Structure 1
Amino acid sequence: MTKKAVITAAKRTPVGRENGMLREYEPHKLISPLLQHLGRAIDYRLDDVLLGNVVGPGGNIARLAALEAGFPLSVPGLTIDRQCSAGLEAIRTACFLIQGGAGQAYIAGGVESASTSPFKKRAQFAPYEIGDPEMGTAAEYVAKAFNVSRELQDEYALLSYQRSLQAHELQLYEPEIVPLGEFSADEEFRRQKDMERLVKRAKPIFEKETGTVTAANSCGIHDGASAVIVMEESMAKKMGMQPVLRFQDSQVTGVHPHFPGIGPVPAIRELLKRNQLTMEDIDLIEINEAFASKIAACAKELDIPYSKLNVQGGALTLGHPYGASGAILVTRLFYEVQRRKDSRYVLAAIGSGGGIGAAVLFEVVR
């Protein structure tokens, strides 16, 4: 019988702007407090630590961070790069390892420190003869190809800001966060004043004459980390851990590198089809808010009502620490389903540079 993978704990750091409050934290220093916090919860009975990372210095950050956190030397560490979906891929991989019987307990997630990255330019995502646009330009391509107007983007951006601000005021983010020294809240909230005026007045930044993508309907560049405990379900119950999300299935799909933002669409479609589900069966969906054009296009193509999409806001307000963002989506779902009594299926999805869409389906454990 296939073993079942469940998530029993999830945490993240506060998210800081590039060269902002977390600028002194190298990747392994940024995530090691999370690893310590989660590792103590299961007495360090771990088979491995899997971490996504995109712009770090290399050298297997997962192993370095595990050692920095004081984990037993027997816990090896694996670093994964699938661009922005790296953190979600780490969780997905840990779930598959449990299903296959390779282990029983993992910490999986991601970390990014854009502030300390040694790279001045991004890596190449695709061959130039195919097309390797900057992400902002790719967001413009998505907007044009899927008829997402400036008005639709700004409308979604304002909704995200409003939701994030309300969640912040209601202290809904607090259970997610493990403080880093004096920092216990996301840095971007410091600049949220009169967002409606700022969104409407923002100028296009990638295609200045005819563009629709602005700084106000795009995410910024950020530092942060997030991780979850993934366990074999029977082991979790024996240890007295309460499963919250049960891994159901996942899908990763490639799209044209010009349109990475639409990557979640074919991945989610295939996932729903294989599991004989429709969008109506999904109660909550987290799709990374790199650009409002992407979210509006995905919602339009998949018929996702905004009422169950990124319900507490997302990267447009909180930030997008590349390798960590997929794990932040799962962490958000982990806490949101516990505030609700009727959720059964939830989805986390993300699009990545080079034209990749990743989606993971979870069943809520009751």
Structure 2
Amino acid sequence: MSQQIQDAYIVAASRTPIGRSHRGAFRHTRPDDLLVAAMRGALAQVPTLDPKAIEDAIIGCAMPEGPQGLNMARVAALLAGLPNSVGGITVNRFCASGLSAIQMAADRIRVGEADVMIAGGAESMSLVPMSGNTPSFNPTIFERDEHLGIAYGMGLTAEKVATQWKVSREAQDAFALASHQKALAAQAAGEFSDEITPVEVIERTPDLDTGEVRTRTRTVTLDEGPRVDTSLAGLARLKAVFAARGSVTAGNSSQTSDGAGALILASDKAVRQFGLTPLARFVSFASRGVPPEIMGIGPIEAIPAALRSAGLSLADLDWIELNEAFAAQSLAVIDSVGLDAARVNPLGGAIALGHPLGATGAIRAATIVHALRRRQLKYGMLTMCVGTGQGAAGIFERA
């Protein structure tokens, strides 16, 4: 017997500030603790919701090992104070892990298997490096040229995109500068205040004279990535780091970062039962594969698929969060798909704000749903490229 698909609504969306990896505020903070903060922030937005109604927590993580291993979703759910009845599963689609977690949670609601879910992502690139602590590639990858791209570093794939799509160094640097300028303006205007949950950090420093350990507590409220001293001249001085005569630099690439995000999704039944106010409806999702060596163009395939599933066109999109893994691939996607650049990353992107891998999908989803509500816009889309050659896109509608 066929069952009607029901709507899945985002009723809360919270994220931590994004910290610079290795030298930022969260360099010693466990990712599950960041996730706990994001979960508690989301729960605080829905005080009338009975936590016992949450059926499962689905959390994305790109490198689920070390301090973000051992099923971080379940551990964080318990540490956040959720009852034992709330399950947890950690999922991995590299950079789209957080978005895929939201999609999976929404699908559970849409097919009638759940009424309330929590979804999100967390990543500490300070504690777990980009390829993990002990990367181990399948040897078969190196036996045939068509599989070699799986082992390419992300920067090298960006260089290949820049070459194939003829994206100049000057265009990449200008895009990077704009990302910082937009992010700084957004911070000054308080654009992120609705979505950010401040995180308290305890810093301990040994006093060699007294033998005591000094303790200092501070509260992190802003993303650490945006830099007021960014300029075209400064970006132009940076050397290419992935190819000898390349154009991709640290300045026009996303920042390695630490952070977490969490969203609460609910069915119409739960919305009415607990008196919740929906922020947005989850409309559609699509993922597509592309050649691994040019993984950055993944959104070129995923965006049209997500639009078809939603019955929408590019003209319907009021807000587009395109994850800025690299300026080269961002510009290639914008040009190839025909995105309205004025609607892409209005508050800056990962080049300025940071890209904590598996958390980014949840973080940028929080930005979208609050921005749509705040500015009274209708449709927003989140899209990103994914390591090993994938693209993902999700569409949200203001409720």
Q: Would you say same fold, with TM above 0.5?
A: yes
1:358, distance to aligned residue in structure 2 (A): 0.9
* Equivalences, count: 362
> Does the residue aligned with 1:178 lie in a helix, a strand or coil?
coil
Q: Decide which of 325, 337, 340 is 2:360's aligned counterpart.
A: 325
Q: Which amino acid aligns with 1:80?
A: V
Q: Decide which of 223, 228, 232 is 2:267's aligned counterpart.
A: 232
Which residue of structure 1 aligns with residue 34 of structure 2?
30
Q: Which amino acid aligns with 2:396?
A: F
CA RMSD of aligned residues (A): 1.7
Q: Decide which of 117, 122, 128 is 1:111's aligned counterpart.
A: 122
- On the 8 A contact 2:15/2:41 being kept in 1, the answer is no
Q: Decide which of 268, 283, 290 is 1:248's aligned counterpart.
A: 283
> Does the residue aligned with 1:346 lie in a helix, a strand or coil?
strand
Q: Name the CA distance, whole Å, in 2 between partners of 1:363 and 1:236.
A: 16
- On the 8 A contact 1:286/1:333 being kept in 2, the answer is yes
Q: Name the CA distance, whole Å, in 2 between partners of 1:144 and 1:88.
A: 29
Which residue of structure 2 aligns with residue 208 of structure 1?
244
Q: Which moved more, 1:9-18 or 1:32-41?
A: 32-41
Q: Name the CA distance, whole Å, in 2 between partners of 1:348 and 1:100.
A: 23
Cα 1:158/1:74, change in 2 over 3 Å: same
Q: Residues 152-202 of structure 1, C-alpha deviation per residue, up to 9 Å, x if partnerless?
A: 21121111111101001111112211111021111223x431433222222
1:100, distance to aligned residue in structure 2 (A): 1.1
Q: What is the percent sequence identity of the aligned residues?
A: 37
Q: Name the CA distance, whole Å, in 2 between partners of 1:236 and 1:276.
A: 25
1:242, distance to aligned residue in structure 2 (A): 1.2
- On the 8 A contact 1:161/1:195 being kept in 2, the answer is no
**Mapping of residues 137-176 of structure 1, within 5 Å:** 137-176=156-195
- On the 8 A contact 2:27/2:126 being kept in 1, the answer is yes
Q: Name the CA distance, whole Å, in 1 between partners of 2:310 and 2:383.
A: 16
Q: Name the CA distance, whole Å, in 1 between partners of 2:77 and 2:310.
A: 36
Which residue of structure 2 aligns with residue 127 of structure 1?
141
> Does the residue aligned with 2:114 lie in a helix, a strand or coil?
coil
**Mapping of residues 182-331 of structure 1, within 5 Å:** 182-189=219-226, 191-209=227-245, 211-331=246-366
**Mapping of residues 16-55 of structure 1, within 5 Å:** 16-19=19-22, 20-40=24-44, 41=46, 42-44=49-51, 45-55=53-63
Q: Name the CA distance, whole Å, in 2 between partners of 1:120 and 1:183.
A: 27
> Does the residue aligned with 1:147 lie in a helix, a strand or coil?
coil
Q: Name the CA distance, whole Å, in 1 between partners of 2:276 and 2:247.
A: 47
State the TM-score, normalizing by the size of structure 1: 0.94
Q: Name the CA distance, whole Å, in 2 between partners of 1:255 and 1:286.
A: 20
1:233, distance to aligned residue in structure 2 (A): 2.4
Moved over 6 A (4+): none
> Does the residue aligned with 1:360 lie in a helix, a strand or coil?
strand
Q: Name the CA distance, whole Å, in 2 between partners of 1:196 and 1:334.
A: 32
1:275, distance to aligned residue in structure 2 (A): 3.5
Q: Name the CA distance, whole Å, in 1 between partners of 2:314 and 2:180.
A: 25
Q: Residues 176-235 of structure 1, C-alpha deviation per residue, up to 9 Å, x if partnerless?
A: 11111021111223x4314332222222111122x1111111012111001111111232
> Does the residue aligned with 2:318 lie in a helix, a strand or coil?
strand
Which residue of structure 2 aligns with residue 71 of structure 1?
82
Q: Name the CA distance, whole Å, in 2 between partners of 1:275 and 1:243.
A: 19
**Mapping of residues 1-20 of structure 1, within 5 Å:** 1-19=4-22, 20=24
Greater gyration radius: 2
Q: Name the CA distance, whole Å, in 1 between partners of 2:61 and 2:136.
A: 13
Which residue of structure 1 aligns with residue 196 of structure 2?
177
